[in-house]
Structure 1
Amino acid sequence: MSKVLINWEGNMKFVGVDDSNIQVPMDASEIYGGLGQGVRPMELMLMSLGGCTGIEVTHILKKMRITFEELNIEVKGNRVDDHPKVFGDIQVIYRFKGANVPAEKVNKALQLAEQVYCSAANMMNKVAKIDYCFEINGVKYEYKPKTEDN
């Protein structure tokens, strides 16, 4: 069972602590009295999605013996207008740099990550439409999700 502890540090600042004692400061937006002393919880959810899929994609590519020098993941989310203001749609862009990074292998790793192994993606796609794409050395590729046909 996963367990975290959230400690209030005054005003609108909270600090989350995991089982390994790693701390993540969180703060509300200015409209709610936040002072910019931590990440907003909804932004943390986007970071969780990028981190989870990034870990899985990296792990799968290592198993495929595909190496890269750099990977940056950009995650953008649009929230719905009504409360609760959940993310209605999310865009995830993976940017790889490296000499020998085949697009078909990246696509396969992303299929496995987002459809099977990444718990955050599988949980979040129940409430939000998540679109993925990736770039290799500046060239943009359309992500092709695995379907029953392929």
Structure 2
Amino acid sequence: MSEVIVKWEGNMKFVGIDEAGRQVAMDASQIYGGMNQGVRPMELLLMALGGCSGIELAHILKKMRVQFDSLLIEVEGKRAEDHPKVFENINIVYKLTGPNLPPEKIYHALKLTDEKYCSVSNMVNKAAAISYAFELNGTRFVYPAREE
């Protein structure tokens, strides 16, 4: 079981603390009285999605012996207009650089990441449609939407 605590730091600032003591500051936007002293919780969700899928993708590529020089993950979420303003659509683009990056292996690793191994994407996908693409040294490839 995972456990974290979230501690109020005053005003609209909170700090999330994991079991190892690592901390993440969160704050509300100024319209809610925040002071821009932390990440917005919904942004943190997008970061968690990018982090989880990035870890899984890198791990699978390592097992496939696919080496890359850099990996940048762009995650963009479109929220509903009405409360609770959940994410309706999320787009993720994985940008890899390096020599000899085989698109078919990257595609296969991304498919495993999306459909099987990334817990965050599998949980978020129940509430929001997630679309994927990847770029290899600047060339874009589209990953098809998950079939339900």
TM-score by length of 1: 0.95
CA RMSD of aligned residues (A): 1.3
Spell out, residue by residue over 1:102-147, the C-alpha distance to the aligned partner (whole angstroms, 9 max, x if none): 1111110110011001010000000101000000000001114676
**1:47 corresponding residue in structure 2:** 47
Contact 2:130 2:145 (C-alpha < 8 Å) held by counterparts: no
Q: Which stretches of structure 1, 4 residues or longer, exceed 2 Å deviation after superposition?
A: 144-147
Kept in 1, the 8 Å contact 2:74–2:94? The answer is yes
Residue 78 of structure 2 is matched in structure 1 by 78
Q: CA deviation at 1:19?
A: 0.8
Q: Rate the CA distance shift 1:28–1:89 in 2: closer, same or farther, 3 A.
A: same
User: Which residue in 1 is equivalent to 2:56?
Assistant: 56
Deviations 1:75-118 (A, max 9, x none): 00000011111000000000000002111111101100110010
How far apart, in 1, do the equivalents of 2:85 and 2:146 lie?
30
Q: What percentage of residue pairs aligned between the two structures are identical? A: 58
2:10 alignment partner, SS class:
coil
Does the Cα contact within 8 Å between 1:111 and 1:146 map onto a contact in 2? no
Alignment of 1:107 with 2:86, yes or no, is no
Instruction: Give the aligned partner of residue 128 of structure 1.
Output: 128
Maintained 8 Å contact 1:107/1:144: no
What is the DSSP-based 3-state SS (H/G/I as helix, E as strand, rest coil) of the residue aligned with 1:78? strand
- After TM superposition, the score normalised by the length of structure 2 is 0.97
AA of the residue aligned to 1:110: L
2:28 touches 2:40 (CA, 8 Å); kept in 1? yes
- Contact residue 61 and residue 109 of structure 1 kept, 8 A: yes
- Alignment size in residue pairs: 148
